[in-house]
Structure 1
């Protein structure tokens, strides 16, 4: 967790039955803008159908491929803004909602006959449940673990599995034709482009 970009290179076992391990603690790579990814949790949000209708219903002229690409770009813009307003930083939103629910419960315990306290506690409870469900959907989709049982919100585990998957799927080094190992991300990118 502390060094997500670290690598272990195992050397040959020649003089012992143990391998020499070389650990490399690389700095985090420069942050690149993430590609747009559709989140399944959006389908349960209020206003989802209306956004689809507006984005897909706009009049675009040109050949079919141009119309499709333009509508998809519009769709992406709508949902990127929607994500920033409603589902970005979902875990911190869940924590805030849980804290508000706890405060509403304390207020209700102090004033059990207060109808406003009852109403606020119910609203906070429903908001926490909806955000928890959205968070679970987000981590289920991100982790690609189909065996997640409903109600299991072990998000710390999923954070670790996401880091592990991201690190495992990365290309950390390439070998040149002369046998030299290249670890610089920019040089790796140039080698990949020149190869294809």
Structure 2
């Protein structure tokens, strides 16, 4: 017999960053969610600027929700598996003996709890799969997990061709994308034509209401008309949070929205952030130009407008 054992060497160059906060769509369905949001949001805040207050309260609510989900909610999938295992053992024991009253009550309680946990698990898996056209109960979680795993593999950039060569490490790929996007974003492209709006005979609307403050109903309608499960921003909150917590956060939201009229605010940078997402334009992207936003084609920016307005 040989005393040699195989040795597997793996060179993992992917940097592990700490997980960002992500609002879970099933949290509003659980008991205690509203209390956590209300108590953390209404805590005393020493700030006076509307933008800074909203940014501070969102971070504080995210911290409290994350702690509540860890301590009170727990692992949904693990609870589901434990509940199914206990029910299976009760069913196996019932074939040889009669269950006691306490055992029957526990089995009934576990069955109803397992059904609820299965629904929450499907909501969680559907949120990660980013499937909008499928309802919650129309499929099991295996399909959602397959879609989420496929998205994770597809969205990862393994290598990228740049002017300096082939970038393979995360730092090299980040530098190549930054150089490319920095060169094209904000580039002025000359336009050869101009529209003569007077010859289009368009009606002139009354724009006097544009300087009026936003009402609570307008802000509420804008939030409730938005999609709930779209990709969250840098703060991790989706539209589901703003819908479910509207009764608590509406006054601060209205203050911030109306403060947009003051464009010279030093705290506007607290909310004026966004995630830069690269969208591949083909199935096998290899260059930085294969991702959107790409460098605009000068030919598409040349508009030849005749005097007749066509």
Same fold at TM > 0.5 = yes
Higher relative contact order (CA 8 A, sep 6+): 2
Look at both structures and tell me which one has the larger radius of gyration over its CA atoms: 2
Separation of aligned partners in 2, 1:136 and 1:58: 34
Deviation string for 1:54-110 (max 9, x for gaps)?
111112122111111111111111111122235554323211111122223445563
Separation of aligned partners in 1, 2:38 and 2:58: 12
Q: Quote how far apart the aligned CAs of 1:40 are.
A: 0.7
Aligned to 1:111: 98
Aligned to 2:23: 38
- Asked if 2 retains the 8 angstrom alpha-carbon contact of 1:105 and 1:121, the reply is no
* Equivalent of 2:120 in 134, 139, 160: 134
Most deviating of 184-193 and 159-168: 184-193
Instruction: State how 1:60-139 maps to structure 2 within 5 Å.
Output: 60-62=45-47, 63-107=49-93, 110-112=97-99, 114-139=100-125
Instruction: State how 1:142-161 maps to structure 2 within 5 Å.
Output: 142-161=128-147
Aligned to 2:167: 182
Separation of aligned partners in 1, 2:147 and 2:73: 21
Q: What RMSD over aligned residues (CA atoms) do the two structures have, in Å?
A: 2.4
Separation of aligned partners in 2, 1:28 and 1:121: 48
- Asked if 1 retains the 8 angstrom alpha-carbon contact of 2:123 and 2:136, the reply is no
Instruction: Name the one with the larger helix percent.
Output: 1
Deviation string for 1:108-140 (max 9, x for gaps)?
56325x321221111111221111111000011
Q: Count residues in correspondence.
A: 170
Aligned to 1:166: 152
Structure 1: any 5+ residue segments left out of the alignment?
A: 1-24
Aligned to 1:53: 38
Most deviating of 166-175 and 53-62: 166-175
Separation of aligned partners in 1, 2:72 and 2:142: 22
Deviation string for 1:19-48 (max 9, x for gaps)?
xxxxxx984723221221111111111101
- Asked if 2 retains the 8 angstrom alpha-carbon contact of 1:142 and 1:162, the reply is yes
Structure 2: any 5+ residue segments left out of the alignment?
A: 1-9, 183-310
Separation of aligned partners in 2, 1:99 and 1:77: 33
Secondary structure of the residue that 1:40 maps to in structure 2?
coil
Aligned to 2:14: 29
- Asked if 1 retains the 8 angstrom alpha-carbon contact of 2:159 and 2:168, the reply is yes
- Asked if 2 retains the 8 angstrom alpha-carbon contact of 1:111 and 1:117, the reply is no
Separation of aligned partners in 2, 1:91 and 1:80: 17
